[in-house]
Structure 1
């Protein structure tokens, strides 16, 4: 397996899945969007803000700059839902170009960073990058379950659907 191609595909899938999910969330009335639905980060809004914090303000700087931001994982970085939507889409679009800059050997190395609690860590680079994309899948799953519980339509976001429809795998 070519790790660079594999992770570029995961980045494209993540952007695709986020876009479809954000389109579905956009139709949710604000009261339901902000209501505590029992998700780990409470509401749809809280969960989306967590994705903004985790994927784009904590992990992306770790991978792109070697920086170790110290942010609370439940921080509300964007209270406005339209701006949050835009920032999530923009953030997801940054991963594939970043991955394209890495030499194939980079995936065999380690990622050294400091946790949000200030602890130094060294983890396998490729496995940790897998975590970033798996983390997004986990929270998208929570959001789709919440949409279903609210009686709202939600898109099918299986990776296989992305792989089966390359012409439709462009971000909406």
Structure 2
């Protein structure tokens, strides 16, 4: 079983993140793992691939798998909009650095979250797999979800050694 990813708050209890929407939910990923924010590109469906990462794009001569976190969180698939983007992150899967694109509905901004506004996911009352959420962070407009990408991708790869790393 994969150890839950720990959020790397700085010495002042801050975390720089990129915030984005998937459906009605606002999520955030550490800014240090973000490599690019792209307009949607033509995707090629990969027969036999796990639906979570069921397609690839050709980006500057590199083949990048595209992850749809809606599937990890049991959300309905929706058609892209004019605001849809691909957030390219760099992860460490099985000791190998890899780029993965995450399909989003709208990218917001780089923001600073505070550790004193965060909480672990509750043991009951969640509609998502608890191990797919590292923390919730309260903000005036609602809650930001910090997904545990290592657990999500491990559910596809079966690689217990994989983790999301700041490169």
Same-fold status (TM-score > 0.5): no
Q: Taking structure 1 as the reference length, what is the TM-score of the superposition?
A: 0.36
Which structure exhibits the higher relative contact order, with contacts defined as CA atoms closer than 8 Å and separated by 6 or more residues?
Answer: 1
Structure possessing the higher radius of gyration over alpha carbons:
1
Indicate the structure with greater strand content. 2
